[in-house]
């Protein structure tokens, strides 16, 4: 807990995104349970459930969750600012509309400094991402095509090797986010076509084609997530069959916590070389590629 709410030190952008996402999920899941399971149903009268202990208990838990979320989130943003060699007081700019959105985007994307007054950089603090290279920004489509033709196969279409929790997070979330954006764009286009006169027959064919594409893409996403999950299990020294735990209700939640949050074996195993290690000072590092 001390590390979760610490306001000293620094974290890189990869760690910042991972922790903020996991923090949001860890608060959202119990919050939804409180709303839909603990609180009375919609049919209850206001006077009835105000007298129930579950109403007060649920709201106390929700308030505690919100306070914990705000505290840990501020801690992450302060340490991210330290990684950029900025004071934590810069968070006050989040109170300014429009500016706050730009600051949050900057915290997620900007490259940290090698060393500053807030401490030494972590192992992967300055690892380049796509937008760091000027050439990638000038020719993004060509670079994306090059990735799909080369590293994409290495990242997804293989069952050998090991993944750190950070690699697993980004490789797991990337296809879900991209496919979600594509599906949302398709739905908006379909709704737009429904408003245009004289093409009602075309929308029927488009809907059928959309259902087929949706089925194929869902199967492809499932395959990609399976290969990534297997390689994450390898980091724990376990085989592909551990991925079957994701199909078991309740057990899958515990399994995903293990995959996202727990470090792998700090030694070489039969699936590959060590990816996570502890240095002489006790600091934990991930050997991300």
Which helix H or strand E contains 88, and what residues bound it?
none
Q: How many CB atoms lie within 10 A of CB 53?
A: 7
pLDDT at 23: 83
The terminus-to-terminus CA distance of the chain in angstroms comes to: 29
pLDDT at 226: 93
Work out the burial of residue 174: count CB atoms within 10 Å of its CB; fewer than 13 is exposed, 13-18 middle, 19 or more buried.
middle
Instruction: Assign 227 to helix, strand or coil.
Output: helix
- Residue 77's nearest CA partner among 106, 98, 42 is 106
pLDDT at 111: 79
Going 268 to 273 to 274 to 279, the CA torsion angle's sign is positive
- Residue 110's nearest CA partner among 141, 86, 75 is 86
Residue carrying structure tokens 């923090």: 23
CB 81 within 8 A of CB 107: yes
Instruction: Assign 261 to helix, strand or coil.
Output: helix
Q: What is the pTM of this model?
A: 0.63
Local structure of residue 284 (DSSP, 8 states):
E
CB 48 within 8 A of CB 40: yes
Local structure of residue 238 (DSSP, 8 states):
-
Q: How many CB atoms lie within 10 A of CB 135?
A: 9
Q: How many CB atoms lie within 10 A of CB 158?
A: 12
pLDDT at 289: 38
Angle at 209 between CA 205 and CA 211, to 5 degrees: 120
Extract the residue ranges of the chain whose pLDDT is less than 50: 1-2, 42-44, 123-126, 289
Using alpha carbons, list the distances in angstroms from residue 108 to 45, 46, 81, 105.
Answer: 45, 43, 10, 5
pLDDT at 53: 63
pLDDT at 51: 55
Cα distance between residue 132 and residue 126, in whole Å: 10
CB 275 within 8 A of CB 163: yes
For the segment 169-203, what is each residue's pLDDT rounded down to a tens digit?
888 888 888 888 888 888 888 777 777 776 666 77
């Amino acid at each position: 807990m001390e590390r979760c709410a610490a306001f000293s030190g620094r974290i890189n952008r990869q760690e910042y995104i991972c922790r903020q996402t996991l923090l949001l999920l860890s608060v959202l899941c119990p919050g939804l349970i409180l709303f839909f399971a603990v609180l009375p149903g919609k049919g209850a009268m206001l006077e009835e459930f105000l007298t129930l202990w579950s109403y007060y208990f649920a709201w106390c838990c929700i308030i505690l969750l919100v306070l914990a979320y705000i505290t840990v989130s501020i801690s992450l943003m302060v340490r991210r600012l330290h990684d950029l060699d900025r004071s934590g007081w810069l968070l006050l700019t989040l109170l300014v509309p429009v500016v706050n959105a730009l600051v949050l985007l900057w915290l997620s994307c900007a490259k940290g400094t090698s060393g500053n007054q807030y401490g030494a950089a972590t192992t992967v603090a300055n690892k380049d991402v796509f937008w760091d290279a000027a050439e990638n920004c000038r020719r993004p489509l060509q670079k994306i095509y090059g990735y799909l033709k080369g590293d994409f196969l290495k990242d997804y279409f293989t069952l050998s090797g090991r993944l750190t929790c950070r690699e697993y997070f980004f490789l797991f979330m990337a296809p879900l986010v991209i496919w979600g954006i594509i599906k949302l764009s398709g739905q908006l286009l379909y709704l737009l076509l429904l408003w245009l006169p004289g093409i009602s027959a075309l929308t029927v064919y488009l809907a059928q084609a959309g259902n087929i594409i949706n089925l194929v893409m869902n199967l492809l996403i499932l395959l990609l997530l399976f290969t990534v999950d297997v390689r994450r299990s390898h980091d724990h020294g376990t085989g592909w069959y551990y991925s079957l735990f994701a199909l078991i209700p309740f057990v899958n939640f515990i399994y995903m916590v293990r995959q996202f949050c727990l470090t792998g074996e700090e030694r070489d195993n039969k699936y590959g070389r060590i990816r996570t290690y502890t240095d002489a000072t006790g600091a934990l590092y991930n050997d991300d590629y």
